[in-house]
Structure 1
Amino acid sequence: MLAPDLILTGAEIRTLDPERPYAGAVAVRDGVISAVGDEVDVPAWRGPGTEVVALEGAHLVPGLVDAHSHPVWGLDMATGVDLSGVRDLAGLRAALAGAERIDGWVVGFGLDHNAFEGRPVDRALVEDVTGAGTPVFLRLYDGHSALASGAALAAAGVTGPRVFAQRSEVVCDASGRPTGHLVEHAAMDLLTKVLPRPSYEARRARLVELLTAMAATGLTGAHVMDAGDMELVGSVARETVLPVRLRFAPWCMPGADAAALAELVRVQGRGGRHWRVGGVKFFMDGTVEGGTAWLEHADCHGQGTEAFWPDPEAYAAAVRHLHAAGVRTATHAIGDAAVRHVLDVVAGLGPDARGRHRVEHIETAPDALLPRFAELGVAASMQPPHTAYTRADGTDEWSRRLGTARAGHAWRLRDLRDAGATVALGSDWPIAHYDVRAVLATARAPRGAASARAGLTGLEALEGCTSHAARAAGESREAGRIAVGYRADLTALALDPVKAPADEVAEAPVRLTVTGGQVVHRAD
């Protein structure tokens, strides 16, 4: 073989390749794995220009992938004051009192619904702290709702309810006054059009900084569940090596006509080094806390009985069109009715749909739905860190809305794996932190409402961020294992992510991250 660019040796290598599960050395050339063997093979592989990295007892695994993330769109979401540590209304008011202004605005993100302590989300709760004339826009943690002040609403010309093509709402009180609670994307977009926006240079710097930080946790790739700013990504990719490989699935929203569907088909395969478009993202519902998850039976507030697509059959028609064009789909479905509908639609596509479609989130699902994932070849894409927004005693907003029975069906990772499903794992950054080690750890030890349920084994969690993530993206022949001809995406940890306790995996030192044969992170 030709001399490799890079050789990694001295590690315990878990390949996830059934033909050779373990190895002692791996060689890389032109971004692809060129040889897998033992340390005795290294002298024969090595050429005059080969870089040899001795990992000295580290544990090398296929490159870890976040199967659901928003690293580009999330740059706008994660702007302003970080409110993720706020636990109650007093804490929120204190955080806003000292918040720095951005072009005169108070902007925040990551606010937990539980901080309102059961009160309706209303601008009156914070306007006396920020000042009635200050425009305020606070994104709640779920990314599907926000709180805006009266000044912010006025800046956007929002004076009352609006009608949208998708299931969104400008919440108003009995008098027609907007409360400031904006539910779902179309309602929030009314405000995002007038929010302060950073310069291209600032966005570029933030993107490189974010992807570099992601790689430092061991991430080599992310399934990006939006279109983001692909011009920005393309520009950065031409100027430097993207530390994390990005696979985009742009959105298809209610009201999409034939031209919109044709454009989604046209952009498939667009990309550059370490990024490409591969798939389309749908929303079948919203969130439990926001009252927009589509449920078989209403939540405790009488909400949750409607789909995000006002006409669910229009969603089915769009999926059929894209499937016929060879486009993979991923559908956000949190509630049981939403999950059922997506599975019903895929079932109607025929046997060639196996392995081409996936469902995102699946926060609550009854027993009867679980076997259908394997039967239909639909991947379950789940985010274990979201369990931290719930509480084991059921006093959180998510659990209260669903009630005991449905909350008891929370994040059924173990049950879906036992049913034979592909279970890909992610963070949904910026909804939860991007640290992939936390994804591995919470998959094994779910928190909050899911803490009573059994988690995955260490091996299953690792597969969720490697081989199962690759399968969910249709990349099983090029990614997800350490084998000749596969992508040279590799992660080296100081601890064995399979055998070490979950809490230790969450803090395991990352020795090396390699994306496309490039060393993008190296521990000091």
Structure 2
Amino acid sequence: MADRIHTLAGTGPRRPTAVAVAGGVIAALGDRADARDWRGPGTEVLDLGTATITPGLVDGHFHPVMGVGLTRGVDLSSVRTVEGLKAALRAAAVPPGGWLEGWGLDPNAFEGAPISHAPLVEALGPDVPVFLLLFDAHSALVSPRALDSAGVTGPREFVSGASVVCDADGRPTGHLLELEALDLVRRLLPDDAPADRRARLSELLKRMAAVGLTAANAMDFEDDSLELIRALEEDGELPVRWRFAPFVMPGTGRDGLDAVIAQQRLDGRRWRVEGAKFMIDGTVDGGTAWLDEPDSHGESTACFWPDPAEYAEAVRTLAGHGVPIVTHAIGDAGIRYVLDTYARLPRSRVPHRVEHLETLPSELIGRFRELDVTASMQPTHCTHYTRADHTDNWSSRLGKKRADRAFRARDLRDDGARLALGSDWPIAPFDPRGIIAAARLRRPAGAPEVEPVLPEQALTARMALEGYTTEAAAAAGLAGLAGQLAPGQRADLSVFALDPLTTGPDEFAESPVPLTVVDGTVTHRG
């Protein structure tokens, strides 16, 4: 029971203040007086007072197992300058003879200068092997010792659009772009102990429940994902539901596609494999997006797949076996190619998706509704890493015209597109309260001094909440089963001390979370 219950299923004759749960589903809605008649011998009665109950929040884009491996070492997400980077490295503990690792580094810290390993050498000397993952997880900065250990002395050729960045003399700068290049050095890093990975994943899921998340879409299925998720389920019920989409990389042959098809049969009590994750391009910040015209560095002109037709063929093969397709598409050319590919696919119960959608021409907006394709966006990618005056690395690479058509969440919703919201953790924080606030403010929550980025693209409070509830359920093919509070729907509930529909966004971002419920079971008590 609570003073406010937002069912998102229509108002009806009166607004409920009580919800009954039995057998993992919602059994009834009514008021506090009705609740007296619902009680049985084993009923637990919770009166949450002035709190607000909503359908359970679902993160649209998350990397749980991959993220556990990516967030090792020093957290560099607060570094804003090269001097700050050097200070953070000097303060880090480096095991004798071991590696220094870090993550979350924003390329804006280099203030427009080329990204190179010079600050690493200045801070630590030439003999420390260093691997720093940039915030987008598509690029890294490594030290000369790390390059030497990996045998990297110059450019390399890759199946995908990856590259080892070199200076004019052909010497590696330490900047590695995209996964195949990163793996040249990353394969040398010490492995996490399985017990440590399991403990970190368990703790991550508890932290997710503590901020009101009841489910998430995992955009990977790492080598040990099955082992880890089954091990956690053996210990008890997962506090968050999961839908996993295994990665499909360039060069994946028919055997690899058959393996992804076979994985679609894997599931557990609160998780399942459903979908396949592709990338059509990389990132604007790294110069590996796929744009119609080059960026200001003359980069971002190529597909992540050397032959885009191979992407299209792999997508057709999987979709023909009923596998929902998820594609990372950042640039205008990439988004267009993905939509053109989807237009030739049969429609299915679970709609195909496009992730990120960073610079989107107006002529493509209507195609999401026309093709029944889900637009999946992460509001904090805009509010945390770009600036209204376009002085950030992302905007300066694109130029004003393309930066002015960025992160068009409101245009998509107003046109009738299905819009799911999420975090892309560990690329950005996963707290949905801050993300919902950012979607409304077009700036970071709690930073009123920051000028909003394209404020006309702000979502209403209801749109933002729907991006985590009704829109998320429809994106998973679960409309009618989840995303609303109605009899017969899943008993997944998020409870906030403040009302997400009437409280100011900055204030809501700090709202306490007194309770989270999954499948009728309390997974968090605040």
The TM-score with structure 1 as length reference comes to 0.95
Deviation for aligned residue 1:158: 2.3
Of residues 202-211 and 14-23 in structure 1, the stretch that sits farther from structure 2 once superposed is 14-23
Deviation for aligned residue 1:125: 2.6
Secondary structure of the corresponding residue to residue 72 of structure 1 = helix
The answer as to whether partners of 1:411 and 1:450 remain within 8 angstroms in 2 is no
Partners of 2:127 and 2:270 lie apart in 1 by 45
Q: What is the match of residue 444 of structure 1? A: 440
**Residues 257-292 of structure 1, C-alpha deviations (whole Å, 9 max, x = no match):** 111111111111412122111111100111100001
Q: Identify which of 297, 313, 316 aligns with 1:301.
A: 297
Q: What is the match of residue 375 of structure 1? A: 370
Q: Cα distance 1:158–1:297, how it changes in 2: closer, same or farther (>3 A)? A: same
Q: What is the match of residue 474 of structure 2? A: 471
Question: Are positions 1:37 and 2:62 aligned together?
Answer: no
Q: What is the match of residue 17 of structure 1? A: 9
Please tell me the residue identity of whatever aligns with 2:176: L
Q: What is the match of residue 141 of structure 1? A: 135
Please tell me the residue identity of whatever aligns with 2:10: P
Of residues 38-47 and 512-521 in structure 1, the stretch that sits farther from structure 2 once superposed is 38-47
Q: What is the match of residue 156 of structure 1? A: 150
**Residues 199-220 of structure 1, C-alpha deviations (whole Å, 9 max, x = no match):** 1121111111111111111111
Of residues 35-44 and 182-191 in structure 1, the stretch that sits farther from structure 2 once superposed is 35-44
Please tell me the residue identity of whatever aligns with 2:121: E
Partners of 1:58 and 1:29 lie apart in 2 by 22
Partners of 2:227 and 2:151 lie apart in 1 by 30
Please tell me the residue identity of whatever aligns with 2:506: D
Q: Cα distance 1:31–1:342, how it changes in 2: closer, same or farther (>3 A)? A: same
Partners of 1:481 and 1:100 lie apart in 2 by 48
Deviation for aligned residue 1:151: 1.3
Q: Cα distance 1:404–1:522, how it changes in 2: closer, same or farther (>3 A)? A: same
Q: What is the match of residue 486 of structure 1? A: 489
Q: Identify which of 43, 48, 54 aligns with 1:50.
A: 43
Partners of 2:202 and 2:47 lie apart in 1 by 27
Please tell me the residue identity of whatever aligns with 1:368: E
Please tell me the residue identity of whatever aligns with 1:15: T
Deviation for aligned residue 1:81: 0.5
Q: What is the match of residue 339 of structure 1? A: 335
Question: Are positions 1:395 and 2:388 aligned together?
Answer: no
Partners of 1:19 and 1:56 lie apart in 2 by 21
Q: What is the match of residue 6 of structure 1? A: none
**Residues 32-72 of structure 1, C-alpha deviations (whole Å, 9 max, x = no match):** 22222222222222111111111112110000111001122
Q: What is the match of residue 424 of structure 2? A: 428
Deviation for aligned residue 1:405: 0.4
Following TM superposition, where does structure 1 have runs of at least 4 consecutive aligned residues deviating by more than 4 angstroms? none
Partners of 2:26 and 2:129 lie apart in 1 by 53
Q: What is the match of residue 523 of structure 2? A: 520
> Percent sequence identity over matched residues?
54
CA RMSD of aligned residues (A): 1.5
The answer as to whether partners of 1:11 and 1:24 remain within 8 angstroms in 2 is yes
Q: What is the match of residue 506 of structure 1? A: 509
Deviation for aligned residue 1:155: 2.4
Q: Identify which of 273, 287, 307 aligns with 1:311.
A: 307
Partners of 1:139 and 1:22 lie apart in 2 by 48
Deviation for aligned residue 1:449: 7.2
Q: Cα distance 1:106–1:35, how it changes in 2: closer, same or farther (>3 A)? A: same
Question: Are positions 1:213 and 2:216 aligned together?
Answer: no
Deviation for aligned residue 1:361: 0.2
Secondary structure of the corresponding residue to residue 453 of structure 1 = helix
Q: What is the match of residue 360 of structure 1? A: 355
Q: Identify which of 202, 221, 236 aligns with 2:196.
A: 202
Question: Are positions 1:108 and 2:108 aligned together?
Answer: no
Please tell me the residue identity of whatever aligns with 1:42: A
Q: Cα distance 1:354–1:231, how it changes in 2: closer, same or farther (>3 A)? A: closer
Once the two structures are superposed, the pairs formed by residues 120-131 of structure 1 within 5 Å of their partners are 120-131=114-125
Partners of 2:419 and 2:453 lie apart in 1 by 16
The answer as to whether partners of 2:324 and 2:348 remain within 8 angstroms in 1 is no
Q: What is the match of residue 4 of structure 1? A: none
Please tell me the residue identity of whatever aligns with 2:6: R
